[in-house]
Amino acid sequence: MKPALHYPYDAPPAWGEALEVAEGVLWMRLPLPMKLDHVNVYALDDGDGWTLVDTGMHTPRALRVWETLLAGPLGGKPVRRVVVTHHHPDHMGLAGWFQQRGAELVTTRTAWLFSRMLQLDAQEAPPPEQVTYWQRCGMEPQVLERRRTERPFNFADCVWPMPLGFSRIRQGDALRMGGRNWQVHIGNGHAPEHATFWSMDDDLVLAGDQILSTISSNLGVYATEPEADPVGEWLEACERLATLAREAHFVLGGHKLPFTGLPFRMRQLIDNHHGALERLEAYLDRPKSAGDCFAPLFKRSIGDAEYGLALVEAMAHCQHLYREGRATRTLSETGAWLWQAARG
């Protein structure tokens, strides 16, 4: 029989409700104001209080859901610790809110530094470096012209102010949560120094966005590090984490449904990007910008809501081919990198 993913739960908990997916482990969802309309968060019962894994985004609706959860499924017990898998606002967004209520923040150093830096870097207009980067990507002229003058997305718009101070976790650390001992294994690619947690007492894995069941996490290059290689970092992390995977593992991810069948899923995640790179390499038979490369990478039409994420992911795949010597790049008169397959 062909290996496949299995979903013990065919539906998620409703807003403000929780499902106990293992002894002392509650699965909850927070709403997001975007096409991917939810993030999964987890509460682990420590006896005299709770440890939360991820927090959702700072929105009035998410706060209302949290108030319902705290009074209802969490039974009024205090949240003593918040563990955040990575710095993205749908995961870090309300960590500061819980800190101000007395919780300890536990995360990787890179996740905390990125979050603090981005929160303090609020801007009313895109800086010149950002505009130049959009040009390097080959952003559509009408989109570029609009974004030059509009207020950009600011991390601080959807992340609660973060008090100074956190507790660091790193590769190989052990953490006790919910009556279990967990080992930290670090991923990369989707976010730098992304923490995942593997139970040493049973088969649970808290995977954040490093391992999702039915979608592949966005791998983007950004103006903060325009020469980064997130695709290479993702592939390295997936190959490394795949050595830990067992059929019995029950994976609790940051989006979509929890699942089993982790060895199969890890191979899918790796093969999907190798396949995308091969299609892209074949497509680059003549010079093209990253903005011209959506067709070989995505199996759906890209609308305005997805355009920004698609653009930085296309840039990441072009750049990986370049770093591997499989593509060349030249700068066009409009300021876009033009990529072309190096073979033949």
Burial of residue 270 (number of CB atoms within 10 Å: 0-12, 13-18, 19+): middle
Cβ neighbours of 51 (radius 10 Å): 22
143's enclosing H/E stretch is helix 141-149
Q: Is residue 137 part of a domain?
A: no
- Distances in Å between the Cα of 288 and the Cα atoms of 89, 240, 252 are 32, 33, 39
Q: What is the pLDDT of residue 1?
A: 44
Q: Is residue 37 part of a domain?
A: yes
Q: Is residue 314 part of a domain?
A: no
For 54: left if phi > 0, alpha if psi spans -120 to 50, otherwise beta; the answer is left
The domain in which residue 252 lies consists of 19-125+157-283
List residues bridging with 253 in a β-sheet.
Answer: 208
Q: Is residue 322 part of a domain?
A: no
Tokens read off for 94 = 């309300």
CATH of the domain at 275: 3.60.15.10
CA 111/CA 118 separation, integer angstroms: 11
Cβ neighbours of 121 (radius 10 Å): 12
User: Which of 224, 188, 226, 231 is CA-nearest to residue 329?
Assistant: 226
One pLDDT digit (tens) per residue for the chain, 344 residues: 456 899 999 999 999 999 999 999 999 999 999 889 999 999 999 999 999 999 999 999 999 999 999 999 999 899 999 999 999 999 999 999 999 999 999 999 999 999 999 999 889 999 999 999 999 999 999 999 999 999 988 999 999 999 999 999 999 999 999 999 999 999 999 999 999 999 999 999 999 999 999 998 999 999 999 999 999 999 999 999 999 999 999 999 999 999 999 999 999 999 999 999 999 999 999 999 999 999 999 977 888 888 999 999 999 999 999 999 999 999 999 999 999 999 75
Tokens read off for 115 = 């979050």
Name every residue whose Cβ is closer than 8 Å to that of residue 60 and which is 6 or more positions away in sequence. none
Q: Is residue 310 part of a domain?
A: no
What's the CA angle centered on 12, arms 8 and 17, to 5 degrees? 125
Q: What is the pLDDT of residue 4?
A: 87
Q: What is the pLDDT of residue 3?
A: 64
Q: Is residue 312 part of a domain?
A: no
Pairing state between β 337-341 and 79-83: unpaired
Q: Is residue 262 part of a domain?
A: yes
Q: Is residue 174 part of a domain?
A: yes
Give the type of residue at 166.
F
Residue-wise burial string across 143-182, b where 16 or more C-beta atoms lie within 10 A, e elsewhere? ebeebeeeeeeebbebbbebeeebeebeeebebebbebeb
- Residues 220-223: contacts with CB under 8 Å, at least 24 apart: 220/309, 220/312, 220/313, 220/315, 220/316, 221/312, 221/315, 221/316, 221/319, 222/133, 222/312, 223/129, 223/130, 223/132, 223/133
* Domain count along the chain: 1
Q: What is the pLDDT of residue 300?
A: 78
